[in-house]
Amino acid sequence: MSDYRIETKCVQGGYTPGNGEPRQIPIVQSTTFKYATSEDMGKLFDLEANGYFYTRLQNPTNDYVAAKIAELEGGTAAMLTSSGQAASFYAIFNIASCGDHVVSSSTIYGGTYNLFAVTMKRMGIDFTFVSPDCTEEELNAAFRPNTKAVFGETIANPALTVLDIEKFAKAAHDHGVPLIIDNTFATPYGCRPFEWGADIVTHSTTKYMDGHGAAVGGCIVDSGKFDWMAHADKFPGLCTPDDSYHGVTYAERFGNEGAFITKATAQLMRDFGSIQSPQNAFYLNLGLESLHVRMKRHCENGLAVAKYLQSNDKIEWVTYADLPGDKYHELAKKYLPNGTCGVVSFGVKGGRKAAEEFMKKLKLIAIETHVADARSCCLHPANATHRQMNDDELIACGITNNLVRLSCGLENAEDLIADLKQALGE
Ligand SMILES: *Cc1c(COP(=O)(O)O)cnc(C)c1O
């Protein structure tokens, strides 16, 4: 599949049936797998043979879909997780533990921010948050001797900043650590962070990859490029024997191509168990089959709506990186030449009350805590996700009280604009 273009990989990647086998990926709805001898089973437990023994660790349906996502991203190995949150947690915890430190962009998904700043901090991992717009000097100054990774989002949810992936990759590599990119909003159709130097990619597949609001899920992909053994002192978990697996040293046995995902599966999935159900993996694959067709439409609708809003005098400001003049337009042209995504944010003139009134009047666009769905939806963070904050606190995290986040779905753009028009009283 590696010679094919991304559209072909979306449709046919990850699974090639043999003669007489199902054309669509089979849902292997089984918790366990049968073996003839205990020796056969023992080899699997020792990671000496490839195969399935318990669906908490691996399942064939999940592996077909993970293989497709690995092909889409241009990586060497991938695994599915039960959610995007689990993917972010595993990606960091696989290489950082108590006493370690991670540098992260400050404009990241709120759930990820809380995971890092509160929950993982309680586990003894420290995070330094840097602006995605920081200079190279500011970025380099954030590193410490115990730094184990750098983290950022290609297009941040909900800030819609575009990350300068090359700048972050260079700083990470200069300090001997990998760059982990959450590529949820861009999807591999829009941007493949490995081509710009990222080492690990994570996804909330709940968003555009599934694309239909049907299944919560996550994914981690390894580029296979980071040389763990060259930085063995920083990554003992990958570069020294794992006693819980008969002394296997992941980076030696599985190489740069397979060590990260094998360790995350064998240790983290074994112990935390955040596996995606095979049924959800099947739904995810249905979504991936049309990812390229849908993303194109999401971007077209996003741009049409952003242009309409920009031209309307009842709208104070619009943030959408495909708009010429947007603060991130140049970075978007470089990293996302096919378009960014369908999410647009804007401020309604008249403050909190005006934003509330406007949203109440929408008919086609629904109020939801969700984005990146086939159906258009919107959210007023001041009244929902950030409800506990007063206006000053909102501004401190870059959110005005009149901000509306609108996720443009796959409907007709004229119908979306007509709905916005009537809600604005025109
Ligand atoms: C939604 C989201 C997550 C969390 O994913 P879940 O599947 O909801 O756990 C992580 N990162 C980004 C960018 C997201 O939009």
Q: How far is the CA of 148 from the centre of ligand 1 (A)?
A: 22
Average pLDDT for the chain: 95
Task: Report d(CA 170, CA 216) in Å as an integer.
Answer: 33
Q: How far is the CA of 383 from the centre of ligand 1 (A)?
A: 20
CA gyration radius for the chain?
22
**396 or 285, which is more confident?**
285
Q: How confident is the model at residue 398 (pLDDT cuts 50, 70, 90)?
A: low
pLDDT at position 397, please? 66
Q: Where are the domains of the chain?
A: 6-286, 292-423
- Pick the atom of ligand 1 nearest to 216's CA: 7
- Sign of the Cα torsion 357, 358, 361, 365 reads negative
pTM of the model: 0.96
* Minimum CA distance residue for ligand 1 atom 2: 204
In this structure, which topology does domain 6-286 adopt according to CATH? Aspartate Aminotransferase; domain 2 (3.40.640)
Q: Is residue 1 scored above 90 in pLDDT?
A: no
Residue type, 5: R
The residue-averaged pLDDT of 4-25 equals: 97
Q: How far is the CA of 160 from the centre of ligand 1 (A)?
A: 14
Non-local CB neighbours of 316 within 8 Å, separated by 6+ positions: 346, 347, 348, 349, 402
Q: How far is the CA of 164 from the centre of ligand 1 (A)?
A: 20
Using one digit for the tens of pLDDT, what is the confidence trace for 177-232? 999 999 999 999 999 999 999 999 999 999 999 999 999 999 999 999 999 999 99
Ligand 1 pocket check for 161: Cβ under 6 Å: no
* Minimum CA distance residue for ligand 1 atom 4: 84
Q: Edge-to-edge, what's the strand order for the sheet holding 315-319?
A: 315-319, 343-348, 403-407, 377-379, 366-367
In this structure, which topology does domain 292-423 adopt according to CATH? Aspartate Aminotransferase, domain 1 (3.90.1150)
Ligand 1 pocket check for 111: Cβ under 6 Å: yes
Are 210 and 223 a contacting pair, CB within 8 Å?
A: no
Q: How confident is the model at residue 50 (pLDDT cuts 50, 70, 90)?
A: confident
Q: How far is the CA of 379 from the centre of ligand 1 (A)?
A: 16
Ligand 1 pocket check for 213: Cβ under 6 Å: no
Ligand 1 pocket check for 206: Cβ under 6 Å: yes
pLDDT above 70: percentage of residues in the chain: 99
- Could you give the 3-state DSSP secondary structure of residue 31? coil
Phi-psi region of 213 (alpha: psi -120 to 50; beta: other; left: phi over 0): left
Q: What H or E segment, with its residue span, contains residue 229?
A: none
Between vectors from CA 66 to CA 248 and to CA 187, what angle results, nearest 5°? 125
